[in-house]
Amino acid sequence: MSRTKLLFLSAEDARRALPMSDAVEAMKQAFAELSAGQAIVPQRIHMPLPHAGGDVLFMPAAGIDAGRISMKIITLFEGNHAKGLPFIHALIVLIDGIDGRPLAIMDGATITAMRTGAASGAATDLLARTDAETVAIFGAGVQAQTQLEAVCAVRPIVRASVFDSNTLVAMEFETEMSERLGIPVTAASSARANLFGADIVCTATTAHTPVFDDADLVPGAHINAVGSYKPDVREIPAETVVRARVFVDEIGAVLEEAGDLLVPMRNGLIDRDHIHAELGEIVLGGKMGRGNDREITLFKSVGIAIQDLAAAGRILTNARRDGLGTELEL
């Protein structure tokens, strides 16, 4: 009997195998499959570790048409910043959905950042005004980098700003992203200054309370909210949620985890029907996106395992084509 071989793909391999434009299209397809019932995505297991100040998430998914299975194990430890360690660590295992053979193991932290940014890129492409050209980013970590990269992949962005409670990190973001994207990126002095004139807003923070004031949003802004993933944690003001046309990655998931929506619901400000559509329904053409150019649109994402499967599958295909990765034998 032949030994099982699988491909190990490092963070650099994953980045090389999945350009952001490819990732955005992969996310559109993934959300469409999810809304069409063409994916098996159990609710993720969330295991809190209060003694260590962290969380572990187990996220499985299977694609019916693609014939592949993925499992991501992701850890999130807020104290890691003080230790000089990344907030997120993760691994993704990709498995053949027909015979169960392991196919690949990949750096999951990089893929999580890429697919989360790409989801916001997809939402921006579908929901932001076509003339949107300025971006405000809240948070200056790895997730924030891919948020800006993805938005720039779908709109002709001419300038961006970033606000983070850690001024030094924001200044490093300013330098790195200006050079990487070839546009002026400025570290803002306040949340209000960050929002000034911003057509697109991305929140990718670990904040527990709203990171900006609703009154500072410009008419017609589009918001991608990706940082919070717990029922009592939120980045977006309730006033914004109430007046926005709200879109989500997957309704069941956000009703379990998205404090940005659950807190206003518990306070009687909105109900379940305030969620206009899943993003996949927009891709499939079953629901309308933005209503007019002055409307606030909000995409709330808590992260769905089908995104990991879509990204990992595209990475494996491209890596095999380009000769990337290291082959391992079990």
Q: Are residues 100 and 172 in the same domain?
A: no
Claim to verify: residue 129 and residue 101 sit in the same structural domain: no
- Of 210, 31, 231, 84, nearest to 138 by C-alpha is 210
Instruction: Tell me, yes or no, whether 227 and 317 share the same domain.
Output: no
Same-domain status, 246 and 150: yes
Q: Total structural domains in the chain?
A: 2
Are residues 72 and 130 both part of a single domain?
no
Residue 49: the pLDDT is: 94
Summarize pLDDT for 182-201 with one digit per residue, the tens: 999 999 999 999 999 999 99
Indicate whether 132 and 158 sit together in one domain: yes
Same domain, 255 and 325: no
pLDDT at residue 3 in the model: 80
In sequence order, the 6+-apart residues with CB closer than 8 A to the CB of 19 are: none
Question: Same domain for 317 and 267?
Answer: no
Structure-token pair, residue 201: 């807003």
The reported pTM is 0.91
- Same domain (yes/no): 150, 101: no
Contact 225, 123 (CB under 8 A): no
Residues 164 and 297 both lie in one domain: yes
Q: What is the DSSP string of 259-304?
A: HHHHHHHHTTS--GGGEEEEHHHHHHTSS-----TT--EEEE----
- Per-residue model confidence as pLDDT tens for the chain (330 residues): 678 889 999 999 999 999 999 999 999 999 999 999 999 999 889 999 998 889 999 999 998 876 899 999 999 998 888 888 888 899 999 999 999 999 999 999 999 999 999 999 999 999 999 999 999 999 999 999 999 999 999 999 999 999 999 999 999 999 999 999 999 999 999 999 999 999 999 999 989 999 999 999 999 999 999 998 889 999 999 999 999 999 999 999 999 999 999 999 999 999 999 999 999 999 999 999 999 999 999 999 999 999 999 999 999 999 999 999 999 988
Residue range(s) defining the domain that contains residue 231? 120-303
Other beta carbons less than 10 A from residue 221's beta carbon: 25
161: left (phi over 0), alpha (psi -120 to 50) or beta: beta
CATH classification at residue 200: 3.40.50.720
CATH number at residue 94: 3.30.1780.10
Residues 141 and 126 in one domain: yes
Pair 28, 62 in one domain: yes
Cα dist from 300 to 59, 95, 124, 183, 261, whole Å: 18, 29, 12, 26, 8
